[in-house]
Chain A
């Protein structure tokens, strides 16, 4: 540990970016971040049943003038691809994706490995910009990702792997 709380750092970046609406589908690594968002009186938090549903809820919130983020595990990216393309991509709707990236170093669940490997390639194929910060740079990078999302009218993804949540700093 280097003294930085990874969840707090990510949330600080979200606040700096003006995020005021959060939909979430849980991951064990997102537990604390979801709790922080849910307890923020200035943020609307909506637990979704499926990631694609969260994409739709966030798009609706954007139409209503909010700045939304979706918190999810990378396994949920597969559930969301059509919506990210034919809703966000079609209408140029911005969205900050905060993604717990499973399946890499330190993974204990075999089922996480296939989607874990494919996640960066899927984002690349979808032309969604992606970032993978260390905890020490997370606040800046999260805010920057949101800035790009809103400037370009696109989803932008911040991938946070297992080492990130353990407080890794390179």
Chain B
């Protein structure tokens, strides 16, 4: 099983090579993304737990000409399960939701989530109507990044020892929108 930070590094490399817009989930996942692959085209979600997949969906619908990848977690997806149905309902071709499932709320002390026992997010995403793939190895993860729909990656429990993101929310959104919003519409 991959460490989450190693999976995030592979996603960051893939996003860079595809020139994709990348949405990072709240807490340690965004901190790990910032540590291993900071780019202005990363949007670090600092609050609003549960909404990374929704922000990614709105972005993908607004920019059908750009590839959009959102990194989400099992605890966050369980908080906004309806998003799986809405993503399937809209089915943007340019959008991939990657769920890094470590079976716990990693940023709050690793309390277990329902995926560590019976709940299966891949099957839930599939029955919501999504194209779903699983990735267990770095090679499968790399291959899956070029697809649409939902990619579920089981990763190890545990956070890397990475610092808090030292960008202000204003800096995060300003540099992101310089890339994500067409200049004529960015007012």
Residues of A within 8 A of B (CB): 21, 23, 44, 46-50, 52-68, 82-83, 85-87, 90-93, 150
Which one of A61, A68, A82 has the highest number of Cβ atoms from chain B below 10 Å of its Cβ? A61
- B177 cross-chain contacts in A, Cβ below 8 A: 63, 65
Closest to B47 in A: A86
Contact A53 to B54, CB < 8 A, known contacts A65-B186, A90-B47: yes
- Label chain A's interface by main secondary structure: helix
User: Given the complex of chains A and B, what is the CA–CA distance between A82 and B80 in angstroms?
Assistant: 13
Closest to A50 in B: B82
B10 within 8 A of A: no
Contact A63 to B43, CB < 8 A, known contacts A53-B51, A68-B58: yes
Residues of B within 8 A of A (CB): 23, 43, 45-63, 66, 80, 82-83, 85-86, 89-90, 169-170, 172-173, 176-177, 180-182, 185-187
- B182 cross-chain contacts in A, Cβ below 8 A: 65
Some 6 contacts from A to B, beta carbons below 8 A apart, are A50-B82, A57-B55, A60-B62, A61-B59, A65-B180, A82-B47
B39 smallest CB distance to A (angstroms): 15
B19 smallest CB distance to A (angstroms): 15
Q: In the complex, are the beta carbons of B173 and A44 less than 8 A apart?
A: no
Q: What 5 pairs across the A-B complex have the smallest Cβ distances?
A: A60-B58, A86-B47, A64-B62, A49-B82, A56-B54
- B185 cross-chain contacts in A, Cβ below 8 A: 65-67
- B63 cross-chain contacts in A, Cβ below 8 A: 64-65
User: Given the complex of chains A and B, what is the CA–CA distance between A87 and B173 in angstroms?
Assistant: 11
Contact A63 to B47, CB < 8 A, known contacts A47-B89, A49-B83, A52-B80: no
